[in-house]
Amino acid sequence: MKAFCEECREYMDYQIDEIEREKEIKGKRINFKEKIAHCSECRNEIFVSDLRDQNLAAMDRAFRAEEGLITVPEIVDLLEKYDIGKRPMSLLLGWGETTLTRFVNGDIPSKTYSDQLKRMNESPESFLELLVTNNDKVTETAFKKSFDATNMLIGKVETYFAETKIDSACNYIISRSIEITPLALQKLLYFAQAFHKVFVGNFMFSEDCEAWVHGPVYRDIYFKYKDHGYNPIDDNQKQFECFDLSDSEKEVIDAIINCFGCYSGKILENMTHATTPWKETRVGLTDEEASNRIIRKDIIEKYFNQVYDKFKMLAIADIKDYSEDLFEKIRH
């Protein structure tokens, strides 16, 4: 190792000695071991930037140890094990957006802030409670990642309910079906979306479906379950028990499962082929021609309002009259 010696006027080998040093930081006298470089030839003290950084870090550690403050590595470990960023963590704690960034970059936190972080670091249960209580302060993606990581630490197998409303609807349908294929799932989503608009007044989820050859399809859901092909979705059922649905949403989906869930995916495909929204969207296309045309929500709303009126539906259970009529139509 060499560094410039001002006494020898050239780069010289040096030796490192450690001495006890006392410094005052924020009004506190702290002791730490300082590393000093000496020229091997003349024993003059030599400035080495790496040693300066090490000494600053040693002072920082000594001060934090004396005051019982959390260290930077401990903060970094906290963020990594809970899989959460500096900004989201700051927001969960009710701090300014850049507060934790400053602490990670070396700023010394107050005792109050430090104790909060220490408590979170030592207790995944406490962090999980904080996360769930303040979930509205972070993005859904950030929440899900951290929720799952924290539950893994605690030893729970549960995961966050669902990333989106349509994922929740899928989980609910799958968890309440004896067996269901991806094809059937798509059609039940289509009917659930339509009848939720009819009975509740709004669409259950924001995603649009497309008029594919085999009926209405929600593209993201197709790719999520496409590996199952025409086979039932047989993943670990535990994961489908997590969903975020209102009572009215569950009531509509339950009715759809009761009225349409008894039919196979192929029959459900033919049923949707008989509905105006799918047929109108595919005008000009051959039966086997691929399409990514969106089935517009206003067309879905118009058609199913007509269905509502035609079958004089007074309750959600009256959907059964429509499903039976649709089944009879495709049989002939």
Read off the CATH number of the domain in which 28 is found.
3.10.20
CB 182 within 8 A of CB 222: yes
Q: So what's the pLDDT on residue 237?
A: 65
Q: So what's the pLDDT on residue 239?
A: 67
**Of the candidates 154, 179, 213, which is a domain's last residue?**
154
**Is residue 160 situated within a structural domain?**
no
Q: So what's the pLDDT on residue 160?
A: 44
91 and 114 in a single domain? The answer is yes
192 and 110 in a single domain? The answer is no
Torsion of CA 79, 85, 90, 92, to 10 degrees: -90
The DSSP output letter for 311 is T
94 and 46 in a single domain? The answer is no
pTM, to two decimals:
0.54
213 and 314 in a single domain? The answer is yes
Q: So what's the pLDDT on residue 164?
A: 87
Its domain, for residue 88, covers: 72-154
175 and 150 in a single domain? The answer is no
Give the C-alpha separation, 26 to 211, whole Å: 68
Give the C-alpha separation, 267 to 174, whole Å: 18
Domains: count for the chain: 3
**Is residue 159 situated within a structural domain?**
no
280 and 313 in a single domain? The answer is yes
Residue 106, Ramachandran bin (φ over 0: left; ψ between -120 and 50: alpha; else beta): left
Q: So what's the pLDDT on residue 162?
A: 52
Q: Which two tokens stand for residue 292?
A: 């990514």
Q: Are strands 215-217 and 210-212 parallel, antiparallel or unpaired?
A: antiparallel
Q: So what's the pLDDT on residue 159?
A: 45
240 and 292 in a single domain? The answer is yes
**pLDDT profile of the chain (332 residues), mean per 10:** 91 92 79 90 92 84 82 91 93 92 89 91 88 85 85 64 81 93 98 97 96 95 89 76 89 97 96 97 94 96 97 96 96 80
89 and 173 in a single domain? The answer is no
| Tens-place pLDDT, residues 153-172 | 887 544 444 568 999 999 99
Q: So what's the pLDDT on residue 331?
A: 86
